[in-house]
Structure 1
């Protein structure tokens, strides 16, 4: 049985879906790497909302997906950009998500870290004092929930700071306030154009120096850094300059297999949006790496890079649409609706290629369900089988 899929040139091409998924099962906890999946949120499809309304979240389906990730040994990075933070999910929604997910993590023994930002504030027109206060409010909530804090890059700080010294002051203040070591998050402008010039410079070498100055001043308060610049060599160079005991969590959704595998001088842990759809397969690969079998790890994970690069193609910030699309095909949610109407952010040929690549990897627990759902989407677009 074949399915007719649209091609970028406007034609149709027959594709024969695989009959069986990749065989992976939950296993023992990881020993060689700390791995987080940045998880998406499931919208409530029956809510009468507009793209400008506060997010309407299906809490049962959202938490069920987190239990799925925890069952495979992955940590959950909560309320990050994968959860549409700043792209449909406001601070009120993120706060509720943090409370609920942290409680669920405690109940099932799952690892969780949560994003701390400043999205209570408008992007422009603020002050450094207001930015510090916004960060502090969110940091307090995350710590009181029992989760680890991830200090996310702030659009307001990027717009307000006049130079590196402002970043040193704000982050130094926050790190002194933190009760437990945090993860510092450097998100590049390809993920969020409003973060251009973060750390006080558009020169990445100068920005890196400021970033490292923040860490060097408070190494006991920094568990690690999460780097999302899509530049493998820059990440390697950066992790080699980190103080002893400070981890590098790769956020490079283009080059993650080589960065996690590492080299003779070290390796990266992981905090990745692509590990939302890749969860079980990624967990299987890391368990192989735990045995010292780097080649086996790469054999499992390298073939996934084509899918990841496709989902994260420019405009990269819309990768969330592909992530939720695959969650729907995989049966993790009953619909393909997103917070803020973001399901419209990618084209039908983009969805068709994502389906082919994911099916080829065996990512769908029920390939027949995925095929039926893909056909239903095609029918909405006027493609009849």
Structure 2
């Protein structure tokens, strides 16, 4: 089985259409081509009544009421209590987080999900749970995991992300000491690395928050807009033009769905391989408006199987953005370096410094953690 899974990882590209000729690429490491097995099991209710609380929520502020059965560590993490048993006190070490990483990696492959991998939707969850940050009010961001609540979960920009949240829910039961905020962001890190992307530095310490900490809807990008909209959204978070382009390169993974965003199709021929192909295709392919009944989007002239969103195409219509797009199209190593840096920053938006200080107390060495991929771990045996 190990040999079979390793052979899958060697297949970096899984074409969904006849491949176009792109610039030559350097040799690449063995990575997952598909991201394991069966569907997501339904979480079991805690069996020990002494370790669970039937918590009655009166959430008038968000228009929700009902009963939620949660165990004590989960409840402590949920409302941000300083309970060391949740892991926020720094008891978890590097090996513990590597175990969580591995558990996430082993959930990725599923031939019944988009293109055989949950990886892209986990990256989207990590990004959307972090991209609500507003530097002026210091609200939103990855600290809180407030997409668990109806207001943020119901934001149209987050349609379809219940698939990612449900996928990770059994791991929250398996590792109750980790906060949802840390779990979701670590999910994005694991997905990027397992799909062949760069090593993403990551720090633990995010705390979950109650519903009243939910940021207002409408802070995430609207894909139907242009360059100025991108600047408005990303400048609010503290990013510059070069960093906007680098983060946009994450669109190399996954596809759009008419029943979610309204748009349709993948950006690249290999939507579960992290490369610089998003930029190669944006620069080197010819694009035309798609003729269909859906919202305006671009499609490639050659195969009519790929798409670009208006916000994607804006990257080559705007002179400042285009210079960086062209650099990344020519230099994948540069893109990987810049993406790793800015994505790591994205995942830390809104997290108080003292949270990371607390999260580091159980670590063997100071500084962010870096994780070995499952392929690297197998190769080192």
TM-score (norm 1): 0.25
As a proportion of its length, which structure holds more strand? 1
